[in-house]
Amino acid sequence: MPLLKSWVESANSAQSPFPLNNLPYGVFSTNGQIPRCGVAIGDMILDVTSPEFQKLASGISNSVFAEPTWNAFMKLGSKTWDAFRTTLQDILGESTSADVQAKLADVLVSQASATMHMPFDVVEYTDFYSGRHHATNVGTMFRGAENALPPNWLHLPIAYNGRASSIVVSGTEVRRPWGQLKPPTAETPFFAPCKRFDIELEFGTIVGQASTMGEPVSVQEADDMIFGYVLLNDWSARDIQAWEYQPLGPFQAKATATTISPWIVTKAALEPFRTSTPEREFLLLAYLEEPGPMLYDIDLEVSLLPDGGNKASTIAQTNYNELYYSAAQQLAHHTTSGCAMRVGDLLGSGTISGPEKNNRGSLLELSWGGKEPFKLESGEERSFIEDNDTLTLSAHCAGDGYTIGFGDCVGKVLPALDDPYKR
Ligand code: CA
CA of 384 to the centre of ligand 1 (A): 16
Query: Count H helices, E strands: the chain?
Result: 10, 27
Mean pLDDT of the chain: 96
Q: Measured in angstroms, how far is the CA atom of residue 252 from the centroid of ligand 1? A: 12
| 360 Cα: distance to centroid of ligand 1 (angstroms) | 13
Confidence of residue 57 (pLDDT cuts 50, 70, 90): confident
> What residue ranges define each of the domains in the chain, with the CATH number in brackets?
9-117 (2.30.30.230), 125-414 (3.90.850.10)
Alpha carbon of 351 to ligand 1 centroid (Å): 6
Nearest Cα to Cα of residue 126 among 266, 270, 250: 250
Is 198 in contact with 362 (CB distance < 8 Å)?
Answer: yes
343 neighbors 207 (Cβ within 8 angstroms): yes
Q: What pTM did the predictor assign?
A: 0.97
Average pLDDT of the segment spanning 216-242: 98
Pairing of strands 25-29, 36-41: antiparallel
- In this model, does residue 142 exceed pLDDT 90? no
Per-residue pLDDT for 58 more than 80? no
Report pLDDT for 60: 81
- Using the predicted structure, report yes or no on whether residue 59 has a pLDDT greater than 80: no
Which residues have C-beta under 5 Å from ligand 1, the single-atom ion? 127, 200, 234
- C-alpha span between 120 and 25 (Å, rounded): 9
Using one digit for the tens of pLDDT, what is the confidence trace for 83-137?
999 999 999 999 999 999 999 999 999 999 999 999 999 999 999 999 999 999 9
Q: Given this model, what pLDDT does residue 369 score?
A: 96
In 10 A of CB 102, how many CB atoms?
10
Ligand 1 centre to CA of 289 (Å) is 24
Catalytic residue annotation: 134
CA of 160 to the centre of ligand 1 (A): 9
> In the predicted model, is pLDDT for residue 212 greater than 90?
yes
Secondary structure letter of residue 73 according to DSSP: H
